[in-house]
């Protein structure tokens, strides 16, 4: 780190040094991740070879993992538990039984941004099922200000053992380096979570009334706790979560679906209407 500080001509705070370590590991793992097992995508219906080739091309552009497209001819197979598919493309309604694999209309192939969002959400769901991500979505009553509201979120998560006792102070230090408030009413308070669990913590707080922060209205708070030790799986999950968060920033429909989130419904509701 001393060599890096000399090269930059600046002192790197301890909190930022921890971040640099994490993201350097992310970069290394991305290089080493070439042998990652291909994601499987199912395809059902009267879909020609040309459309299947286009599907592979579109999916390859969406994310770097190798994609294996599998034609499903026996619809009874779709009700079998633990199907290996990330998602299924179809030109017709499907009955998947108890499986919660997203089914995407084949014409969504031509809507790249919407397709990207649906795939990203499917990867988030997969990470939750694999217990690599702990996701909570809650409605919040704003406190006196932004910091007090985030502090309350952190304190509650700390009491449950989901965030380390050091998390709040580390976030305060990080916030001094720059605001975590972004466009479209989104805030992303995040820092390293010094806890032993190999899981990424994400709580989405939906504010019942917006908070005014630096002349910006904040409607959603994404509280993100990043483990100190990231393996290749967690690296991919972290990338996916960032993609998910910024898809909310970019797409008004997803943002509105989240602002009106139904707590008794699965997360797939976020893609309704896109």
Q: The whole model's pTM is what?
A: 0.75
41-58: pLDDT as tens digits: 888 887 777 777 777 777
Measured CA to CA, the distance from residue 56 to residue 236 in angstroms comes to 20
Q: How many CB atoms lie within 10 A of CB 189?
A: 27
What the chain holds in terms of domains, given with CATH numbers, is 36-110 (3.40.50.11860), 133-263 (3.40.930.10)
Residues 188, 220: contact at Cβ < 8 Å?
no
- Between 228 and 6, name the one with better pLDDT: 228
Q: Among 151, 230, 237, 227, which residue's Cα sits nearest to residue 194?
A: 227
Average pLDDT, the chain: 82
Residue-level length of the chain? 274
Q: How many CB atoms lie within 10 A of CB 136?
A: 15
Lowest pLDDT segment from 10-24, 94-108, 134-148: 10-24
58-71: pLDDT as tens digits: 777 665 556 778 88
Residues 206, 139: contact at Cβ < 8 Å?
yes
Measured CA to CA, the distance from residue 67 to residue 80 in angstroms comes to 22
For CA atoms 85, 89, 90, 96, the dihedral sign is positive
pLDDT of residue 65: 57
Residue appearing with tokens 């990424």: 200
Measured CA to CA, the distance from residue 52 to residue 90 in angstroms comes to 11
Burial of 270 (0-12, 13-18, 19+ CB in 10 A): buried
Give percent above pLDDT 90 in the chain: 35
pLDDT of residue 32: 47
| Secondary structure letter of residue 181 according to DSSP | B
Longest dimension (CA), the chain: 64
Measured CA to CA, the distance from residue 239 to residue 25 in angstroms comes to 13
Judge whether residue 109 has pLDDT over 90: no
209-262: pLDDT as tens digits: 999 988 889 999 999 999 988 888 899 899 999 989 988 888 888 999 999 999
- Strands 190-193, 67-71: pairing is unpaired
Query: Which whole number is the average pLDDT over 136-148?
Result: 94
């Amino acid at each position: 780190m001393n060599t890096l500080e000399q090269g930059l001509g600046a002192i790197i705070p301890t909190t930022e040094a921890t971040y640099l370590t994490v993201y350097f590991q992310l970069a290394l793992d991305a290089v080493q991740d070439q042998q990652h097992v291909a994601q499987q995508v199912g395809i059902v219906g009267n879909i020609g070879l040309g459309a299947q080739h286009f599907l592979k091309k579109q999916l390859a552009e969406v994310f770097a993992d190798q994609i294996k497209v599998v034609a499903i001819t026996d619809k009874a197979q779709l009700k079998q538990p633990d199907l290996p598919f990330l998602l299924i493309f179809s030109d017709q309604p499907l009955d998947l039984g108890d499986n919660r694999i997203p089914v995407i209309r084949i014409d969504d192939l031509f809507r790249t941004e919407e397709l990207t969002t649906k795939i990203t959400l499917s990867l988030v769901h997969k990470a939750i099922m694999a217990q690599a991500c702990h996701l909570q979505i809650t409605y919040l009553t704003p406190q006196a200000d932004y910091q007090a509201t985030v502090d309350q979120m952190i304190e509650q998560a700390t009491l449950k053992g989901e965030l380390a006792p050091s998390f709040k102070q580390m976030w305060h230090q990080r916030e001094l380096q720059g605001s975590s408030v972004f466009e479209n009413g989104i805030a992303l308070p995040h820092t390293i979570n010094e806890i032993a669990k190999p899981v990424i913590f994400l709580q989405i707080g939906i504010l019942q009334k917006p908070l005014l922060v630096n002349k910006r209205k904040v409607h959603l708070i994404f509280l993100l706790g990043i483990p100190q030790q990231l393996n290749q799986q967690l690296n991919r999950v972290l990338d996916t979560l960032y993609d998910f968060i910024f898809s909310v920033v970019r797409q008004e429909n997803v943002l509105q679906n989240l602002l009106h989130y139904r707590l008794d419904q699965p997360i797939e509701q976020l893609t309704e209407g896109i």
